[in-house]
Every structure is written in structure tokens, then in C-alpha cells.
Structure 1
Amino acid sequence: YWPPQYVLMDGDTLEPLKIVSTRGMTVDTQEYHPEPRVAAIVASHEHPEFIVNVKETGHILLVNYRDIDALTVTDIGAARYLHDGGWDRTKRYFLTAANQSDKIAVVDSRERRLEALVDVEKIPHPGRGANVVDPEYGPVWVTSALGNANVTFLATDPENHPGHAWKAVRVLEGQGGRLIVRQVP
């Protein structure tokens, strides 16, 4: 989490090539935050870029690493307190929890934009989440919650189930608060 930055490194030597600060304004109140932490970094399956969650400010950064001397960063405002997340079954959509905001941000990594910001039950905390097929809603992504028993299903198929896509379609009561949900093949 510390210091408030992300570092692009040479993959073979781990030599730092570019250090970028994450200090900046929050997405909602536009207050300056001097020490926002990087909560997650994942590689896009669509473009040569990393998706970076900046926790306290609520910014999702799409960091194109094709030319690090002329670094291109797309800033997507989502919700404060971004944490971790995972991919839908197609690897196109990255779903990530804004846990203290009680939201899941859905990023379309192909179109490079925020697809949805979904309200969910208190304190989503998915780890990578899990992808399963619900008999009623089709493909869903599943998250647990921190400090309670909620297990929330988000529908993730805008092509075949457009009426349910990017909505919390089911909440089950699990066995108490969980840190992550994981699917085992």
C-alpha cells in the first residue's frame, strides 16, 4: 500500500522504469487525498495495459504501457474505497469492489470505460470473485461481504440476458462474514 504510487518495471530484471504517483482528488467530493493506496493491479486481456484501482480516491486507471516514455493513462471515476476484484467469464469485464461505498464497479476493458456502478449489500469483498451459471439469470459473478453473511450474485451477460445485466440479481446468506469467494474447477 505504501508509498502512494505504482511502478512499471522491466519484467526480466524488475528494474523500475517509471514511477507514477497516485495522489489526487476523490471522485465524489473532489477533496485532495495525499496518500491514496493502490489496492489492485490486473492486466487487461484486450489492450497492452494494466488496470489499477486507487483505493481512497475511487479512480480506476487504465495504464497503457506500450510507450512508457509517453505513458497514456485513462482515468475512470468509479466510487471511493476501491479494493480488489476479478474478471467475468469472457475476460472482457473487470468487476471490482468499492467496499466502503457498497458498490461494484464494472469496467469494460475492450471499450475502456465504466460499464456500470452497481449498488450491493454492505461491504462487498470478493477477492477475485467467482463465475458461475445461475439457472435463472445465466452467467453471474459472485462476491462475498466483509463482516456479514451476504453472498451477492451479479448478472454478467448483456448479450443473452440484457434485462438482468450488471444488476445484483440474488443475495444468499452464507456462513458468516467471508474475505473472498473462490471457484474451484
Structure 2
Amino acid sequence: MATEKMTVGANVFESKLGGLTVRGKAHDLSAWFVLALRMMMGIAFLNAGLSKLLAAEPFSAQGFLLQGVNEASPLIGMFTWMGSTPWFVEFVNVAVPFGQVAIGLGLIVGAMVRLAAFFGAMMMFMFYFANWDVSHGLINGDFAYLLVFLAVAAFGAGRILGLDQLIEQYEVDGQPLIEKYPKLDYILG
């Protein structure tokens, strides 16, 4: 059985972590699937945020934090503290709906995608522990969405029909923005 040697280039990705190197070759259609994941999560989060902001009653996370969190959650004490602390409830009441709208818009237009995906993954991490149920294993929809956000960030989905591709190439002092400020790669892409 022959093995195919892959060289890093178009459609080939590689990562080294510790002493382990992983390498893969993406299909030509992979960019479309990454774009679809970005758009799916963007639309879902924009819809979730707008439904909270446009609801007849003002959004309040307190009821969920105190009564909606699964009692088996290993973080039940933290969620109870959150729901019992007035300033934190007020913070969450603003951060969740506006954060969901910002994440959704960022993903849809492809701007600051890695930053949006990071905060989306953080929200899904919290929802994962709030909705804790391991009766069918450790993997649930919240965990799967967390991984989708991480994949969107890892694949630089904002560079696929997104504004990040344009933002990165914007010239500052005759140099593309991403080259002048390489740490922006953690936010853009």
C-alpha cells in the first residue's frame, strides 16, 4: 500500500503540537462547507439575539440562571451565584442578547470572525454546563456548536467571501494590515 506524501500548499493544512504533527488535505469544496458553517452559526446567533431584544418583555437571564440550569451541572453553584448577584444579572441581561447579535453579524459579514467565534465558543461552553446532561454521553448540541465555532475560527472562515479578507489587505504605510500588525490574526480570519 503506497502512501501519498502531502506538501504544505493549496488545500493542505498542518499543525504541530508538542511532538505530534498532524496533516490533512481538504477537498476542493471544503471552503463552501466552512462558509456554510460560518453562515449557519451567524444566522442562528443573530436570530437568538434579535428575538431577545425584540421580545415583548425585556430579556432577563435570572430565571434561567436560578431555575433553568440542570441541577446535575458541575457548575450549579456558579450559575446560582450569577443568578443571585444583581449586578451580574444586569450584565448578563445586556451581554447575552447584544453579544449574540454582534457574534451573528460578525459571522454573517465575515468581519473579526476569530473574535466572534471565540465569544460564540465561550457562550456555548457556558450553555453546555448550564444544560448539563450526560445521560447520552458527554457530547450534546451545545458541545457540537462549541466545536463548530472553533472550526470556523481555525479555518479562517472570515477570509472566505468575508470582510476579513479585505480588512487584512488594507494598507497602512504601504504594508497590508495583517503584515504590519500580525497579532490581528487572532481576531481576523
TM-score, structure 2 length as denominator?
0.25
TM-score, structure 1 length as denominator?
0.25
Larger radius of gyration: 2
Give the structure, 1 or 2, with the largest relative contact order (CA under 8 Å, sep 6 or more). Answer: 2
Name whichever structure is richer in strand by fraction: 1
